[in-house]
Amino acid sequence: MHMMDGLAQHLSAELEQIKADGLFKSETVIGSAQMGTVTVAGRDMVNLCANNYLGLADDPQVVEASIAALEKYGSGMASVRFICGTHELHKQLETTVARYLEKDDAILFGSCFDANGGIFETLLGPDDAVISDTLNHASIIDGVRLSKARRYRFHTSDMDDLELQLKAAEDDGARFKLIVTDGVFSMDGYIAKLPEICDLAQRYKAVVMIDECHATGHLGEKGKGTPHLTGAGNRVDIISGTFGKTLGGAMGGFIAGPQPVIDILRQRARPYLFSNALPPSVAAGAIKAIEIAEKADDRRALLASHTARFRAALAEAGFDLVPGETPIIPVMLYDAVKAQGMAKALQDRGVLVSAFSFPVVPKGKARIRTQMSAGLTDENIDFAIDAFIGAGKDLGVI
Ligand SMILES: *Cc1c(COP(=O)(O)O)cnc(C)c1O
């Protein structure tokens, strides 16, 4: 028997088990632009699972800016940044992000996954401590694993536990301490308690870093994110984020922060040094998206109104929702197979949703995570509410 036969058999058995557990992720193939309604196998569906909070993914101005750069500058740089991959549009996007988020400077990455993957090992050594929220995104968890810093975890948004962990790090003689949290937790929609976190950071002389992937562009004044929303403001030191969600939906990540942080990342962050630069067309689209987002109070108001409406209607119908104020509205089913069944029933009714189960959320916490978008109309929201009530009754969920 070839070695591959053994491995292939093992993997097939694993896949069967994933299916039996209701954890198999199948991909929905979309044939249209990413917008309020999408086409799946020729059929229009209301889309409640994109991170397209302001509806900029198909915005004509964003598309036009990208096309203009594509025509002028070609498909890409064919180089990492430090060799010959740095384009004027990269510098312009970095300046734009830094200004928008009120930081000294910013650095681009191929994704926020890469940004979070590269920052911890660059900034911290074995004498240092990272204190990380247990619900943080996988990219933070992996980035922390790659660093040699000592690791401390605090129960999500539990300030007493955070303080215990800060004390533990101090007792262990940490040289530098860095607290890291998602600004908005993607699976629950919770907002981090930034003012309290910053108070503790001040008391224990820790640096504060937040991941703003589910906040930048749509939350807070001018969409500047959770530091503005919570009043923590500039007490947050370092911000990571993405251009793959609210800010145009294409791709790319960034870190914004104090000058020496950005400068050392350019020298040492491995995903920056060893991976191709963003295409100039993507940078041009992101610059336009930020320009629009900054002024988009109308879109943010529509997003808030959809959120309030959808949340109220589902709660009234008897669904079990995770409480919160962001456009992330998780509908709890707890059981993975049930969540998959509900997602399928909703798709049959023309609403595209996704069921989330382990390992994306803890075991026994399966859910359908719905996300509102300014790209949705009031009619789309009503259609989705009707579908939820119909499917929920059919399956005995409500
Ligand atoms: C989406 C997301 C990321 C990854 O961003 P990409 O740019 O898609 O790699 C990182 N952190 C959080 C909290 C996210 O939601």
pLDDT one-digit tens code per residue, 88-118:
999 999 999 999 999 999 999 999 999 999 9
Pocket-forming residues, ligand 1, beta carbon under 6 Å: 111-113, 116, 137, 139, 182, 186, 211, 213-214, 242, 244, 253
Which residues in the chain show pLDDT less than 50? none
**Active site residues per annotation:** 186, 214, 245
Cα dist. 345→338, 351, 384, 392 in Å?
10, 9, 12, 9
Q: Is 31 exposed, middle or buried (0-12, 13-18, 19+ CB in 10 A)?
A: exposed
User: Token pair of 312, please?
Assistant: 């109220």
Residue 222 DSSP symbol: G
Peptide bond preceding 359 in cis form (omega within 30 of 0): yes
pLDDT at 358: 86
Q: How far apart are CA 367 and CA 388, in angstroms?
A: 13
pLDDT at 1: 57
The number of CA neighbours under 13 Å toward the Cβ of 6 is 3
Give the nearest ligand 1 atom to 251 CA: 7
pLDDT at 8: 94
Amino acid identity at 19: K
Asked if 239 and 116 count as a contact pair (C-beta separation under 8 A), the reply is no
Dihedral angle, C-alpha 104, 265, 291, 140, nearest 10 °: -110
Asked if 314 and 369 count as a contact pair (C-beta separation under 8 A), the reply is no
Task: Give the mutation target among 245, 251, 360 for probing the ligand 1 site: most ligand atoms within 8 A of CB.
Answer: 245
pLDDT at 192: 98
pLDDT at 380: 98
pLDDT at 21: 80
pLDDT at 112: 98
The sign of the torsion formed by the CA atoms of 355, 361, 366, 367 equals negative
* Long-range pairs for 19-22: beta carbons < 8 A, 24 or more residues apart: 21/336, 22/335, 22/336, 22/337, 22/339, 22/340, 22/357, 22/366
**In order of start, what are the domains of the chain with their CATH numbers?**
22-54+297-394 (3.90.1150.10), 60-294 (3.40.640.10)
